[in-house]
Amino acid sequence: MGEGISLHFVTRGASSSVYAIDEREVVKLFRPAVSGEMIEREAWASRRAVELGMPAVASLRAVTMEDARGLVYPCVKGRTLLAAMRKRPWLSGRIMDSMARLQARMHETPATSGLRYLKDVLRTDIIYGPGGSALKVAALERLEDMPEGGQLLHGDFHIENVMVDGDDLKVIDWSKAALGDPAADAVRTEMLMRFGDGPEDPLTVLSRDWAARRWRASYLRASGMDRERLDAWRPLVALAWLRSRKPIRQRAFEHYMKDAAGKAGLLR
Ligand SMILES: Nc1ncnc2c1ncn2[C@@H]1O[C@H](COP(=O)(O)OP(=O)(O)O)[C@@H](O)[C@H]1O
Ligand SMILES: [Mg+2]
């Protein structure tokens, strides 16, 4: 980039720091550990999402600034859903409903191509992740019977990756996108909401669990999906997540996973 650009720090995300370039644009500068493949996927998927009519923020261009790789995006003026809930906690239920309706609408988009398949990602993560081998074998067998699907799935759909933009919501951070069955993406959101990065004090845990239940009820209503489809994916997505998840609420997550595996008949 040319000299003389002064950046104003906006916020830190899990994999990046975001700076304002000017009134209209921000640059997301990735930490060195983030692979080029992931950055390219984020750029590509954010654009494809917009082409498919999803309310995504599409990457404008790739840049390198002082050795850090980055993507430039149009600046969204509003706040994330997390910030919106903190500001007006009494609206949290309605915010969950809006988020669920948005995700259900995105999941109605026709199948597409040009990206990795979620089933392949889950298979690799289950194989190389921790976990008892009997459960892994049962899960890998079951995975083969699950529908491939071909919808563009966000893969990391949580309250810090959805932003309020005027009267609309906009989806950012497409680095974990893949093609697959929408139910797998939905169940992943449930997990992120309850066990993803973030505070884990008892009061927050209660509200996270409450929010996840509200989101799930709204998602099932908006999508018309049977809860059995979520039940079928839950243990597979949970097991795959073990490969990379931080040990947040580890005991509760183990219980959740075991329960899901039992319900899906994987623990015989
Ligand atoms: N286009 C944008 N406009 C305004 N703020 C943004 C934009 N993109 C990201 N942010 C802010 O930066 C945070 C981190 O961005 P994100 O793409 O989610 O990165 P990470 O991969 O590190 O989670 C977001 O939660 C949001 O607060
Ligand atoms: Mg993010």
What is the CA(244)–ligand 1 centre distance, in A?
Answer: 21
- Is the pLDDT at 138 greater than 90? The verdict is yes
* Cβ atoms 115, 178 nearer than 8 A: yes
- Is the pLDDT at 3 greater than 60? The verdict is no
Q: What is the mean pLDDT of the chain?
A: 96
* CB of residue 173 inside a 6 A radius of ligand 1: yes
- Which CATH number is associated with domain 8-74? 3.30.200.20
Nearest to 176 by CA among 15, 17, 68: 15
* Cβ atoms 75, 26 nearer than 8 A: yes
pLDDT band at 136 (very low <50, low <70, confident <90, very high): very high
Terminal CA-CA length for the chain: 58
CA-79 nearest atom, ligand 1: 27
**Residue 264, pLDDT score:** 97
* CB of residue 204 inside a 6 A radius of ligand 1: no
Q: What is the DSSP letter of 75?
A: P
Nearest to 183 by CA among 144, 224, 127: 224
Mean pLDDT, rounded, for 210-218: 98
The dihedrals phi and psi of 156, each to the nearest 5 degrees, come to -145, 45
Q: What is the DSSP letter of 201?
A: S
* CB of residue 16 inside a 6 A radius of ligand 1: yes
- Is the pLDDT at 2 greater than 60? The verdict is no
**Residue 268, pLDDT score:** 74
For the chain, give every residue range classified as CATH 3.90.1200.10: 81-263
* CB of residue 76 inside a 6 A radius of ligand 1: yes
Q: Whose CA is nearest to atom 14 of ligand 1?
A: 13
For the CA of 81, the nearest ligand? 1
For the chain, give every residue range classified as CATH 3.30.200.20: 8-74
**Residue 202, pLDDT score:** 94
User: One-letter amino acid identity for 136?
Assistant: K
- Which CATH number is associated with domain 81-263? 3.90.1200.10
* CB of residue 161 inside a 6 A radius of ligand 1: yes
CA-57 nearest atom, ligand 1: 1
What is the CA(158)–ligand 2 centre distance, in A?
Answer: 8
- Is the pLDDT at 203 greater than 90? The verdict is yes
Of these ranges, 1-10, 207-216, 243-252, the one predicted with the greatest mean pLDDT is 207-216
CA-160 nearest atom, ligand 1: 25
CA-73 nearest atom, ligand 1: 1
**Residue 132, pLDDT score:** 78
Q: How many CB atoms lie within 10 A of CB 256?
A: 18
For the CA of 11, the nearest ligand? 1
**Residue 4, pLDDT score:** 62
**Residue 247, pLDDT score:** 85
Mean pLDDT, rounded, for 76-105: 97
- Strands annotated E in 77-161: 151-153
**Residue 207, pLDDT score:** 94
